[in-house]
Structure 1
């Protein structure tokens, strides 16, 4: 019986170490790509890496490495100079020689010249076929022609880093807003990669009476994509207006946003701080939708905590633009909590990526605190070293209740420091606002006279201004 693990399609990673990228950074990039590919549902069986001054213009890798890659995928290792049909003829020749099953195009492979007899030979061929990678994941953004040439040389599907990330987002989006944002990014990614099919030279009849060149099938497909993107943007704008209204209603409330690299532990902290059942998974981009919950146990006035989408190196610009509304939670927060996985050797670079993306949307001016998470995986000496390097940071583990309780108290203390005392007059005609006052301020005392109630409160200045405005209407 085969297991789910064995049924995963196989993938090979490709990376080019460019000038200015050291060995540690290059290895970390490839390891991260491996986790992305694994999140997408593939099993990584090999990595092909090369040190070059630039990506090869034709197919990313040099000739030697390209052949090495093709040995893993069962391809020819050569970029055909002619039309795609030539590749099919070559595949037919390999099939005739026993290297490939022509009927379904599955590469059977021939790794080595070992002699097997009878059924053993058949079993060996099946085992070798299972080791063929059907996907090549490239740790760079590559052009459509480079992807096409790699596919011809390897006989495998090719995804660049942006394509992998977009596909993960596409599979993990849950809310309507996230789905729209991802679909826009996906269509923008696909449009320039469309190519003519076998009969792609045919044109639709154009002009009045059918005269004129008309549109080719490729042009027609691209126009359909542009129309679809416009339609999606219109629907997204409507949803974002509703989101803006909700955020406006929360204006003046105390809001904390958890931000950081993907898989840093933001959702685990969210669950621990709020008691909510948000998804927690040890995989990249488990969270794509912003979740807002109240700090638990609740305090008055309430503190709202937001869990946001994680960041990653080389995040496609279309996705940064598409998720701007999602990231607005960070822009409009009262306090940002930068969450970093302290057990990851590259967390310093990850922090840099997080700060860079937030700076792009103008959130770098929002007050922030640094949380070094997952310290339960570190030795005491490593923790001491981090305290020296980051004296302003809070070291904690989302799995340790005492650490979470201390963080909760620190959040409350931060907001308490900015609160001021004031007196509000609540006329009897506006008693319906009493709930609003208790929601946005801490009521210290109440006295009632002929003209209404006099409430001594403690609240944030912005919340006080809003309450006074409501009472003055």
Structure 2
């Protein structure tokens, strides 16, 4: 008997209120799927996330099969005996789709489909499929198609015949549905064009970003594991009409809004694409221009699902992606969301596990004021433009401006280096006394200590 469930897992009944657009993503006819996982000491619960991904793609998980082994089988990923178990489970459950929780080599996919006579999809294809479902903007669609074609290119041989036999559905959305039987040269030409399109669209994004930067408002990026409640929290913080759905990867196109911080300060805040473990590398590369919203921000608001049993693993998965895109060392505020689902003892335990974090419920509003205080404290003040004359003896200050500020112009003068720069509070404090026309310098160019009435 296969060690798999043959009854469909129960669907959550406590879905949050969804935007009208989100409802259009749900498939009317669910493909019945068997989920397969391989790894040392693997448990059925380890496939829960895959089940959620399958649900977001419109599949109906009707069974699970796992195999604990140190390394996958080179031909079928699972052992030959498990292949027979899987074949029997498909027949019993009436399933027409198999989803593996890993990225499979092209040869492995073909071997499995030839033996099982059903469509086989790996985790990467599943995630790409969800992205294809949810992409709305021109940039988002181009980025998803680019990632899909890079994934499909080495898998074309023999797949056209399989797809014509198996029909469409999950794993064949977006470009896959019409381009799987097209030759490699055509695919490569399409990839080249998409890269050019993404580059052009990136310029448009850069213009918008530059406009925001000129406003001198601090920029905050919301990051977090997919379905952690980032969009719901953004709506709570800003009142923005952003798409909210109890689905994985509901947000692909970044939304930027203004947020009011304590003390009368303001900032911009951007909702970004959610992260997930085993996020396909092609997808990270394709969405790199979008993810730059994260790397160029002043602060990260890292939203985590406090009710998830694997919350710690999810936080680490997000930080691994942040490291991949060059944002590992940016300042962050961790918001433990969905605490309305936790008992008091569980909340206390989480606060101990994640010191410095802020507990919050985007649904009820609990903890939102405390979160705004934490974000306001961690958000740097906007830079100001200064015009200073740094004496020759203080070359260290000129070096500091080049390292830590934005130098707009620098030129040598008889008394020192004239610098026009955009600086933060710390740099401003260091150079304020040398401001041109501010009366803060002695005749020798040294700062005056007015309390003493003499130069230092």
Using the TM superposition, give the Cα deviation of residue 132 of structure 1 relative to its aligned residue in structure 2, in angstroms. Answer: 1.1
Relative distance call for 1:6 and 1:245 in structure 2 (3 A) is closer
1:189-268 to 2 correspondences below 5 Å: 189-196=151-158, 221-251=183-213, 252-268=216-232
CA distance in 2, matches of 1:271, 1:369: 18
CA distance in 2, matches of 1:420, 1:289: 28
Using the TM superposition, give the Cα deviation of residue 329 of structure 1 relative to its aligned residue in structure 2, in angstroms. Answer: 1.0
| Secondary structure in structure 1 of the residue aligned to 2:222 | strand
Using the TM superposition, give the Cα deviation of residue 35 of structure 1 relative to its aligned residue in structure 2, in angstroms. Answer: 0.7
CA distance in 2, matches of 1:284, 1:278: 15
Question: How big is each residue's C-alpha offset from its partner over 1:443-473, in whole Å with a ceiling of 9 and x where there is no partner?
Answer: xxxxxxxxxxxxxxxx9549999xx9xxx9x
Using the TM superposition, give the Cα deviation of residue 299 of structure 1 relative to its aligned residue in structure 2, in angstroms. Answer: 7.7
Q: Partner of 2:135 in structure 1?
A: 173
- 283, 290, 310: which one aligns with 2:254: 290
Using the TM superposition, give the Cα deviation of residue 66 of structure 1 relative to its aligned residue in structure 2, in angstroms. Answer: 0.9
Q: Partner of 1:149 in structure 2?
A: 111
- 291, 294, 297: which one aligns with 1:327: 291
CA distance in 2, matches of 1:27, 1:269: 31
Worse overlay, 49-58 or 39-48: 49-58
- 2:353 is aligned with 1:397: no
Structure 2: runs of 5 or more not aligned? 1-25, 162-178, 388-422, 438-456
- 118, 125, 130: which one aligns with 1:163: 125
Q: Partner of 1:382 in structure 2?
A: 346
Question: How big is each residue's C-alpha offset from its partner over 1:25-47, in whole Å with a ceiling of 9 and x where there is no partner?
Answer: x5454111111111100100000
Q: Partner of 1:347 in structure 2?
A: 311
Q: Partner of 2:72 in structure 1?
A: 55
Number of residues paired by the alignment? Answer: 352
- Whether the 8 Å CA contact 1:293–1:305 is kept in 2: the answer is yes
- Whether the 8 Å CA contact 1:28–1:346 is kept in 2: the answer is no
Q: Partner of 1:12 in structure 2?
A: 34
CA distance in 2, matches of 1:422, 1:190: 50
| Secondary structure in structure 2 of the residue aligned to 1:358 | helix
Relative distance call for 1:275 and 1:176 in structure 2 (3 A) is same
Relative distance call for 1:298 and 1:389 in structure 2 (3 A) is closer
Using the TM superposition, give the Cα deviation of residue 53 of structure 1 relative to its aligned residue in structure 2, in angstroms. Answer: 2.3
Q: Partner of 1:269 in structure 2?
A: 233
**TM-score normalized with structure 1 length:** 0.69
Structure 1: runs of 5 or more not aligned? 75-110, 112-130, 199-216, 425-458
Worse overlay, 254-263 or 360-369: 360-369
| Secondary structure in structure 1 of the residue aligned to 2:367 | helix
CA distance in 2, matches of 1:376, 1:63: 46
CA distance in 1, matches of 2:296, 2:180: 43
Using the TM superposition, give the Cα deviation of residue 337 of structure 1 relative to its aligned residue in structure 2, in angstroms. Answer: 1.0
- Whether the 8 Å CA contact 1:12–1:46 is kept in 2: the answer is yes
**TM-score normalized with structure 2 length:** 0.71
For the aligned residues, what is the CA RMSD? 3.0
- Whether the 8 Å CA contact 2:261–2:376 is kept in 1: the answer is no
Question: How big is each residue's C-alpha offset from its partner over 1:371-408, in whole Å with a ceiling of 9 and x where there is no partner?
Answer: 11111111111111112222211111112324223322
